[in-house]
Amino acid sequence: MRIKTRLIHGGIEGDPHTGAVSVPIYQVSTYKQDAIGQHKGFEYSRTGNPTRHALETYIAELEGGARGLAFGSGMAALSTILSMFNKGDHVVVGDDVYGGTYRVITRVFSRLGLEATYADTSDGAAVEAAIRPETKAIIMETPTNPLLKVSDIESLSKVAKKHGILLIVDNTFMTPYWQNPLDLGADIVYHSATKYLGGHSDVVAGLVVTKDAKLGEELHFLQNAIGGILGPQDSWILLRGMKTLGIRMEEHEQNARTLAEWLEKRSDISRVIYPGLASHPQHELAKRQGRGFGGMISFDVGSAARADEVLSRVKYFTLAESLGAVESLISVPARMTHASIPAERRAELGITDGLVRISVGIEDVQDLMEDLEQALSK
Ligand SMILES: *Cc1c(COP(=O)(O)O)cnc(C)c1O
């Protein structure tokens, strides 16, 4: 089954009891047992719920893994993964990962004795140099946010295997439609399903898929023990949203490519970052490890003042954090998502005050272009 068909027919189709074509919302906490321990596969909804189970089966199939697990947010998903580690364990983490990832590792799991080193995951030697005897995993994002740096999943999976540690990939930006980290050698893939998978700015959720069943069992134990599960209603919203992931991602990408090429031709913009552009430093790698380049673009308008002007003039780009929904969003990372990073560190990374990030929606690209044109040219 090809990915577009798998998005429609993958996982559990409808309801075997009634023939309902969509999976029903099992709004239930507990299940009747005919005798002690005799049940139909569900005992209590923290442990398992049929609607969540349908979503978990579906994402596992889409990512090509053995076990899927659904959580109340991307951060709940990551926190459950991090709960596999013990006091004194060490992880190597990408140096420009999502701010919340950095926060939960440095301010929460550090208190429990998990140690971390931040390294540029687009540099395999830097990652390898950061590995210690206590290292248990490499945690990476590709492409990163907002600089859209691309890291080589396959080569990092070889580094991980050589050292007997796990490779954990945040696949939020690419989605299983464009990129399958497990096929490239990763052990665990996770998503903020709040973004492209949900796709409609109406749900906060996290999804995890493990390559092998044993790791899946371990994470299910933690999911049940910690309890950060996704509820049945939100599981259903996600199942519904994901059916159209294929057509949405195609549109996001086509619009993003058109806008990136147009922005790159403008003389009043110093830098356009989009992995689909030949000018992107890891364009060839992005082409090799994925089937597409996604819908995120960053570009530099030169100053904080000009960024403010652009933000105040756009009509179709909503000023908001988050990404990946049908509507186009615009943000200034230095003063929004990355404001908590010290200014010197931001400068080192290249997150300038004039850097604008857009999550390209699925509106008519001509309207988006005209909107940016008037916002940039006054
Ligand atoms: C949003 C995001 C997260 C966190 O997910 P939530 O659903 O907001 O908890 C993690 N990683 C990336 C790349 C994100 O964009």
- What pLDDT, on the 0 to 100 scale, is given for residue 109? 98
The two most distant CA atoms of the chain are separated, in Å, by 74
The ligand 1 atom at the shortest distance from the C-alpha of residue 77 is 9
- What pLDDT, on the 0 to 100 scale, is given for residue 319? 95
- What pLDDT, on the 0 to 100 scale, is given for residue 346? 87
CB-CB contact of 121 with 145 (8 Å): no
Catalytic residue (one of 170, 187, 300, 371): 170
Specify the CATH architecture of the domain 246-377: Alpha-Beta Complex (3.90)
The verdict on whether 212 is a catalytic residue reads no
CB-CB contact of 313 with 301 (8 Å): no
Whether the CB of 357 sits within 6 Å of ligand 1: no
Q: Could you report the per-residue pLDDT of 132-182, keeping only the tens digit for each?
A: 999 999 999 999 989 999 999 999 999 999 999 999 999 999 999 999 999
Please state which CATH number belongs to domain 3-242: 3.40.640.10
- What pLDDT, on the 0 to 100 scale, is given for residue 339? 84
- Spatial separation of the C-alpha atoms in residues 78 and 300, rounded to whole Å: 31
Every domain of the chain and the residues it spans? 3-242, 246-377
Whether the CB of 80 sits within 6 Å of ligand 1: no
Residues in the chain with pLDDT < 70? 378
- What pLDDT, on the 0 to 100 scale, is given for residue 349? 86
Taking CA atoms only, the protein residue closest to ligand 1 atom 9 is 74
DSSP state string for 203-254: ---EEEEESSHHHHHHHHHHHHHH--BPPHHHHHHHHHHHTTHHHHHHHHHH
Whether the CB of 194 sits within 6 Å of ligand 1: yes
Domain 3-242 shares a fold with domain 246-377: no
Buried b (16+ CB within 10 A) or exposed e, 1-30: eebeebbeebbbeeeeeeeeeebebbeeee
CB-CB contact of 189 with 77 (8 Å): no
Q: Could you report the per-residue pLDDT of 108-130, keeping only the tens digit for each?
A: 999 999 999 999 999 999 999 99
- Spatial separation of the C-alpha atoms in residues 101 and 170, rounded to whole Å: 10
- What pLDDT, on the 0 to 100 scale, is given for residue 138? 98
CB-CB contact of 7 with 197 (8 Å): no
CB-CB contact of 245 with 7 (8 Å): yes
Determine the residue of 195, 196, 234 to mutate for testing ligand 1's pocket, defined as the one with the most ligand atoms within 8 A of the Cβ atom. 195
The ligand 1 atom at the shortest distance from the C-alpha of residue 75 is 9
Compute, in angstroms, the gap from residue 103 CA to the centroid of ligand 1.
Answer: 12
